[in-house]
């Protein structure tokens, strides 16, 4: 199926023609200058406050401003800076557009955006237009049109734009990426990934009252993969997406929606308001994506049924297979027993990525958030490419709306080429490990 340009997708607008030459050198991390990076954090709820904690542990960072709808949360974030012996940042709060006052008044090198989903794109575009790097929490956008806005604004301004997809920086995923780049899996043929995380009793709804929290709105309005970035983030580098290959189409299908009602009937009884609602979001969404070179990828959204957490990553090539859920691997040239699984951990140690040389287990998400933020800050210091570029951010983000369109049509839909053809000459970029 032919790839879409923005013009053919939304029938409006023009292509940005300015390239991003500054993104050509992947060696930015080793070239970071000693200059302090001036950071603003917009959105200081749980996730934004977590970013503040990580930023305060990174050398050469000055948090100059914090912003939130609720002043108490912004003040709490500012107090964390003071307790860490840093200068108290300016506080902006009170309404949905307080961030504009921050961007107008504060000189920043980068802005961390951890607000509600529907505001991510607008804040990021304004950040780019002011010459600062946006680090956007997932997802970076909710529509393909907004995704194009991020791409084209980043191209026009020449400022890198990064979605903060932390699972791309996990130690196991980076070791698998190193092995893939060394050719140990042969030619990659197929991948699988999932976000299997029961979020009913803490993220979508209040566990004590059953009241809807803000993400529940999306379960009422849409039937799609609401949260694909954690699952697909590592995979796009395994598959060389945007660098030698691209997704050409996506076909998604959804199961019935029964998990939410079952949960409320069991815990709160049939008279609870949420027990009676007909939720639009199916419990399981399965998406099949095809690439130009013939690779396939299966993605599962699975956030409404009782189950332990799992991402179910699978990387399969002509010389072997890695199965994250089994914590197992089989390589035809290395495994001692024919067609028998080996334990994954020794390989993770042997092919450990250079970003994971220290013990970071005490940090949030086992150190993954620290690694991600540290590399983002290094890129800002060096005025170089962000660890995850705008094109990879766009591919991960577009799955949200495209999966919903495919479910609605019960048919495959084309996948846009956000690189506008540059995928044919782009070289592998993310997390290149020159220590191999």
Q: Are 111 and 40 in contact (CB under 8 A)?
A: yes
* Strand residue runs (E) in 332-405: 342-343
Query: What does the DSSP assignment read for 193-220?
Result: EEEE---IIIIIB-TTT-PBPTTHHHHH
Residue 431 placed within a domain: no
Task: Quote the pLDDT of residue 34.
Answer: 54
Residues 83, 21, single domain; the answer is yes
Q: Are 297 and 232 in contact (CB under 8 A)?
A: yes
Q: Are 361 and 179 in contact (CB under 8 A)?
A: no
Residue 49 placed within a domain: yes
Residues 156, 180, single domain; the answer is no
Residues 74 and 66: their CA atoms lie apart, in Å, by 6
Query: What does the DSSP assignment read for 42-74?
Result: E--SHHHHHHHHHHTTSTTEEEEEEEESSHHHH
Cα(first)–Cα(last) distance of the chain, in Å? 38
Residue 348 has pLDDT above 70, yes or no: yes
Residue 381 placed within a domain: no
Residues 207, 131, single domain; the answer is no
Rg of the Cα trace of the chain?
Answer: 21
Residue 362 placed within a domain: no
Residues 181, 225, single domain; the answer is yes
Residue 46 placed within a domain: yes
Residue 313 has pLDDT above 80, yes or no: yes
Task: Quote the pLDDT of residue 10.
Answer: 35
pLDDT level of residue 359 (50, 70, 90 thresholds): confident
Residues 129, 190, single domain; the answer is no
Residue 435 has pLDDT above 90, yes or no: no
- Which distant-in-sequence residues (6+ apart) come within 8 Å of 265 by Cβ? 275
- Percent of the chain with pLDDT strictly greater than 70: 92
Residues 198, 307, single domain; the answer is yes
Residues 172, 147, single domain; the answer is no
Closest CA to 119 of 89, 101, 98, 133: 98
The enclosing domain of 303 has a CATH number of 3.30.360.10
160-190 per-position pLDDT tens digit? 999 999 999 999 999 999 999 999 999 999 9
Enclosing domain of residue 248? 168-354+388-424
Query: How many domains is the chain partitioned into structurally?
Result: 2
Average pLDDT over residues 151-159: 98
Residues 165 and 205: their CA atoms lie apart, in Å, by 24
Residue 11 has pLDDT above 80, yes or no: no
Residues 426 and 423: their CA atoms lie apart, in Å, by 5
- Percent of the chain with pLDDT strictly greater than 90: 89
264 or 32: which leads in pLDDT: 264
Residues 278, 417, single domain; the answer is yes
Instruction: State if pTM tops 0.75.
Output: yes
Residues 24, 63, single domain; the answer is yes
Residue 369 placed within a domain: no
The enclosing domain of 70 has a CATH number of 3.40.50.720
pLDDT level of residue 103 (50, 70, 90 thresholds): very high
Specify burial of residue 159 (Cβ count, 10 A radius: 0-12, 13-18, 19+).
Answer: buried
Specify burial of residue 336 (Cβ count, 10 A radius: 0-12, 13-18, 19+).
Answer: exposed
Closest CA to 38 of 60, 62, 55: 62
CA atoms within 13 A on the CB side of 343: 4
Closest CA to 111 of 133, 95, 140: 133
Strand order in the sheet with 314-317: 342-343, 328-331, 320-323, 314-317, 188-196, 296-302, 284-291, 247-254, 413-414
Residues 12, 144, single domain; the answer is yes
Residue 84 has pLDDT above 90, yes or no: yes
Q: Does an H or E element contain 312, and which?
A: none
360-388 per-position pLDDT tens digit? 888 889 999 999 999 999 999 999 999 99
Average pLDDT over residues 92-118: 97
Residues 418 and 248: their CA atoms lie apart, in Å, by 11
Which residues is 62 bridged to in the sheet?
38
């Amino acid at each position: 199926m032919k790839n879409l340009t923005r013009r053919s997708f939304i029938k409006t607008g023009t292509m940005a023609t300015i390239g991003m030459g500054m993104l050509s050198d992947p060696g930015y991390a080793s070239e970071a200058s000693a200059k302090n990076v001036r950071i603003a954090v917009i959105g200081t709820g749980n996730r934004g406050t977590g970013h503040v904690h990580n930023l305060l542990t990174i050398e050469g960072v000055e948090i100059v401003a914090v912003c939130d709808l609720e002043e108490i949360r912004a003040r709490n974030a500012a107090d964390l800076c003071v307790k860490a012996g840093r200068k108290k940042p300016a506080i902006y709060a009170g309404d949905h557009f307080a961030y504009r006052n921050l961007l107008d008044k504060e000189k920043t090198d980068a802005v961390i955006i951890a607000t509600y989903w529907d505001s991510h794109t607008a804040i990021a575009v304004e950040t780019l237009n002011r010459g600062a790097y946006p680090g956007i929490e997932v997802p970076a956008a909710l529509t393909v049109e907004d995704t194009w806005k991020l791409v084209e604004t980043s191209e026009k301004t020449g400022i890198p734009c990064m979605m903060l997809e932390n699972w791309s920086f996990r130690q196991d995923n980076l070791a698998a990426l190193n092995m893939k780049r060394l050719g140990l899996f042969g030619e990659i043929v197929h991948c699988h990934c999932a976000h299997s995380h029961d979020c009913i009793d803490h993220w979508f709804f209040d566990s004590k009252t059953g009241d809807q929290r803000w993400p529940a709105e999306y379960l009422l309005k849409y039937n799609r993969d609401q949260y694909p970035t954690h699952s697909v983030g590592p995979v796009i580098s395994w598959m060389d997406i945007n660098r030698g290959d691209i997704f050409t189409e996506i076909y998604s299908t959804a199961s019935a929606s029964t998990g939410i009602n079952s949960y409320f009937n069991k815990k709160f009884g049939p008279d609870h308001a949420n027990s009676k609602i007909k939720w639009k979001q199916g419990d399981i969404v399965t998406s099949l994506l095809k690439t130009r070179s013939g690779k396939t990828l299966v993605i599962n959204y699975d956030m409404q049924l009782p189950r332990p957490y799992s991402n179910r990553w699978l990387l399969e090539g002509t010389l072997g297979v890695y199965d994250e859920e089994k914590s197992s691997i089989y390589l035809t040239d290395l495994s001692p027993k024919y067609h028998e699984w080996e334990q994954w951990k020794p390989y993770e140690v042997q092919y450990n990525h250079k970003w994971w040389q220290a013990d970071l287990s005490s940090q949030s998400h086992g150190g993954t958030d620290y690694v991600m933020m540290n590399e983002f800050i290094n890129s800002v210091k060096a005025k170089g490419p962000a660890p995850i570029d705008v094109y990879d951010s766009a591919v991960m983000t577009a799955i949200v709306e495209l999966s919903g369109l495919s479910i609605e049509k019960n048919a495959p839909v084309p996948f846009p080429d956000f690189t506008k053809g540059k995928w044919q000459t782009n070289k592998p970029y993310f997390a290149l490990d020159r220590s191999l």
